[in-house]
Structure 1
């Protein structure tokens, strides 16, 4: 019996977002925008936050600096009901942070300080507490310098030995990232990257070939987010399928992939099949995209179920 529904391990960052930004003012001049927010973010922390909002007992496992930003992140996590007992402090680095000037179409270039994410790691003596959940999510490979590579392999191997369901996402993937990811693949039950990152690593083109590439190397279920084109899934059981995205007015795409992962985790925790998990995850991501930051307009589990059934869908493309 586990204490938590999900344990999210890895990348945690503070996002400072402003919208809409069309240009950076010249010199020392000022411009005026509609909205600024600070949010919990990161491939592990944003997923954890959205899981907590949607009702799961959630543990967050990461590192922040011994600074005001770290204080804010931990306090904000706790306000969502997240367990932060395994949030460590790194006095030698500031908390990982990003400034995001969000464009009118929802795109967001980033200015990032790597900070405390680079020194986060776990030792075997900490595994039992970090694995005290039915589902274990590892997020942020690529920016977790101390935890990438063999430490992540050891951790996911321990997760599978303990009988946990594992989900995985990474960040800022490129062709070099694949060397860090390949040894992890046999221990990943649900691999949930964006199509762009997955293609970069696999050197393939198109969701079918890309998902197949990862499945052939050990991933049990490959789920590729396609942005406005929806999602493509190549499951361990059953045939591959594509689902369309919801037809919404996009405010900000920050955290959409992380929130999609949270939706998959919610569905898995309820024993749904993968198609229903992906439908729910698409509704989670749509609600996030309709607001600013990694939680956007995300509401309760019941609200999200309603959104899944009522938000309009785009026409399915050939993507």
Structure 2
């Protein structure tokens, strides 16, 4: 029996967010805004934090620097209850970090330093412990320069040999990312990209066609997040389906996809159907979107469960 519910493997980054930012002041002038936050972020780390908030026993597997930003990330992850035994420190580069001036509509252009994301790897001596969980979530392919490719393939193959459930998400995917991801697809049980990332990789636009493209290449379940348009799911068994997003006032969309992955993982751990898991994941993402940063207003499983039941949904748009 694995020791953890989920092992979240890959991209961890320090986000510094400001809200609301409608322009960058000219020259050396200053504008006043309402809020600035530092948060644990990244396709693996934000998902791990949200899993922990929602009550899962979660291990984080990543690399941060030996600088004060790395200290912040480790201390904050520990405060959320994550196991950080496998968060390694690398003094050769700075901790991965991003500055995010969040626009009033929730969009967030980014200024990013790759740093330790590019040096992350799972050492042979850490392999067994990194895979000691019911669910293995890999996040950040495309930015994990050292781990991407053959090392990720070896890792996910080992996960499946051990009978683990695998979930997978991307960040800033481009057509070039496709080459890295294609060999992994037959080993991915739940693929949870945004429609924009998945479309860029598949060279298609329709969610139906995009999902089918990935299914044809081996993915068991394709879950395409579509922001305010909800989610489209092409499952391993049964008919495809769409679910609407909650009708909320969006503050910041940072981490919404990461939190959606966390919601799906919670459902898998609890043995829910995929439709129930995706419905809960939508509420998790809504809680995150209503605040600043990758955890937003997410506070607990019970609070999110109540929001899922109480908050209204948007009208569904047609899926092409």
TM class by shorter-chain length? over 0.9
What does residue 286 of structure 1 align with?
286
**Which secondary structure does the structure 1 equivalent of 2:295 belong to?**
coil
Please state how far the C-alpha of 1:187 moved relative to its aligned partner: 0.6
Give, in whole Å, the separation in 2 of the partners of 1:125 and 1:241: 42
CA distance in 2 between counterparts of 1:61 and 1:205 reads 33
Q: Residue deviations 1:68-105, cap 9 Å, x none?
A: 00000000000000000000011100000000000000
Task: Give the structure 2 partner of residue 166 of structure 1.
Answer: 166
Superimposed CA distance per residue, residues 277-319 of structure 1 (whole angstroms, 9 cap, x where no aligned partner):
0000000000000000000000210111111111110000013
Structure 1, residues 101-129: CA drift from partner, whole Å, max 9, x if none? 00000000000000001000113332110
Q: Measure, in 2, the Cα distance between the counterparts of 1:299 and 1:123.
A: 33
TM-score (norm 1): 0.99
Partner of 2:21: 21
Provide the rounded CA distance (Å) in 2 between the counterparts of 1:208 and 1:299.
Answer: 34
Question: Unaligned stretches of 5+ in structure 2?
Answer: none
Deviations 1:18-59 (A, max 9, x none): 000010011001110000000000000000000000000000
Q: What is the number of residues matched between the two proteins?
A: 319
Offset, 1:241: 0.1
Structure 1: which 5+ residue stretches go unaligned? none
| Corresponding position of 1:252 | 252
Correspondence list, 1:34-73, <5 A? 34-73=34-73
How large is the RMSD of aligned CA atoms in angstroms?
A: 0.5
Q: Output the TM-score relative to the length of structure 2.
A: 0.99
Give secondary structure in 2 for the equivalent of 1:279. Answer: helix
Alignment correspondent of 2:318: 318
Q: State the partner residue of 1:269.
A: 269
CA distance in 1, matches of 2:57, 2:285: 20
